[in-house]
Amino acid sequence: MTTPGTAMPRARGIAPVRRPPGTTAAESRWLLWPPLVFFALALGFPLVTLVIQSLEGGGSAYIDALDVPAFAGSLMRTVVMAVVVMVLTMVLGTAYGLAVVASPAWLRFALLAALILSLWTSIMVRSFGWMLLELPRGAIYWFLGLFGLADEPIELYQTTLGMYPAMVAVMLPFAVLPVMSALQSLDREQLNAATIFGAGPLLTFRAVTWPQILPSVLSGGVLVFVMSLGFYVTPLLLGGPGNMTVSGVINAQMNQANRPDIGAAMSILLVGGTMIVYLIADRLFRVSEKWG
């Protein structure tokens, strides 16, 4: 019996054989350069600029940033918001993924098309779309009016409640896709086996399906949480000034308060915090494997 630990070095030892014939490590390594250069320019350069900017006052910008009362408040709000979006998206995304897999072909196509189209559409456009729905005399008001249910203009636009549906809709694909791929790779015979051995649909889901898709549900959730920390447009448009996120506060420092150093320090704190959350979550739930 070999343990994974003893099998690993052997696997590494035969790895070079799998390279296409005629290429050596040195020859194929140049393929790594284009993405590395891209990352250096697109991610590294702005990040370094931000760090330099934030350190202009000798690091005092970080202290100033933490002293801005709106920052601490928005940080708290952003994390809570990200958690709420994460939980809602995980629940809805799992249900959506199950629906896609269980549907007949035409419905599966429709569900997938809706998901992919939403993924392809700009977040700005989608947020404006939700705005049109939620305006006091918007589409929802009109629709309710058809049934005589809307006596007075609805109060949804620019409320906390109003921003969540849009944010969940924006994030949904990132929760659905990993769940769907886990469901599709599930062995059909296992479901048949559960049925044969007397399990109803509930026990089959609880005892067979759920434990095997849980890692993907979690990894989708982590991704949604991390991405939700950077929400800017949607809460701004739909949540109103009372729901300003960290991104909003950073924008205010940069463009209104004219303190780019404080804005830069806040950005670094947000990016750093997000990275720490992601790295911990990746260790715990192996997020990157589910998306690799």
Partner 1 sequence: MTIALSISDVHVTLGHNHVLKGVSLDVQPGEFVTLLGASGSGKSTLLNVVAGLQAVDSGHLTFDGVNVDKRPPQKRNVGVVFQSYALFPHMSVGDNVAFPLRAARRPAKERRAVAEEMLALVQLPGMADRSPASLSGGQRQRVALARALAANPGVLLLDEPMAALDKQLREQMQVEVTRIQRKVGITTVSVTHDQTEALTMSDRVAIMRDGVLVQVASPEDLYRHPVDEYVAGFLGEANLLPTAGGRILDDARDADVDGTAVLRPEDLELVPAGDACPAWHVEGTIHLLSFQGTRFRLELLTGAGRRVVCSLPTSVDASALVVGAPARVACRNPERVHVIAAPPSKAMVAA
Query: How many Å apart are CA 35 and CA 207, to the nearest integer?
Result: 42
**CB contact set of 262 (below 8 Å; sequence gap of 6+):** 61, 64, 65, 68, 253
Radius of gyration of the chain (CA): 24
Give, in order, the Cα–Cα distances in Å from 208 to each of 97, 192, 218.
Answer: 16, 11, 17
Neighbours of 140 (CB within 10 A): 18
Q: How far apart are CB 3 and partner 1 at their closest, in Å? A: 9
Binding part of the chain for partner 1, among 35-43, 54-62, 206-214, 271-279 by CB under 8 A, reads: 206-214
Quick check: 203 binds partner 1 (CB under 8 A)? Answer: yes
Quick check: 196 binds partner 1 (CB under 8 A)? Answer: yes
Query: How many Å apart are CA 181 and CA 108, to the nearest integer?
Result: 14
Taking CB under 8 A as the criterion, the residue among 49, 60, 184, 192 binding partner 1 is 192
Q: How far apart are CB 292 and partner 1 at their closest, in Å? A: 20
Taking CB under 8 A as the criterion, the residue among 76, 207, 276, 280 binding partner 1 is 207
Q: How far apart are CB 206 and partner 1 at their closest, in Å? A: 11
Q: How far apart are CB 267 and partner 1 at their closest, in Å? A: 41
Residue 253 contacts residue 68 (beta carbons within 8 Å)? yes
Binding part of the chain for partner 1, among 20-28, 92-100, 164-172, 183-191 by CB under 8 A, reads: 183-191
Taking CB under 8 A as the criterion, the residue among 98, 208, 271, 277 binding partner 1 is 208
Query: How many Å apart are CA 130 and CA 114, to the nearest integer?
Result: 16
Q: How far apart are CB 237 and partner 1 at their closest, in Å? A: 43
Chain residues in the site for partner 1 (CB under 8 A): 1, 187, 189-190, 192-200, 203, 207-208, 211-212
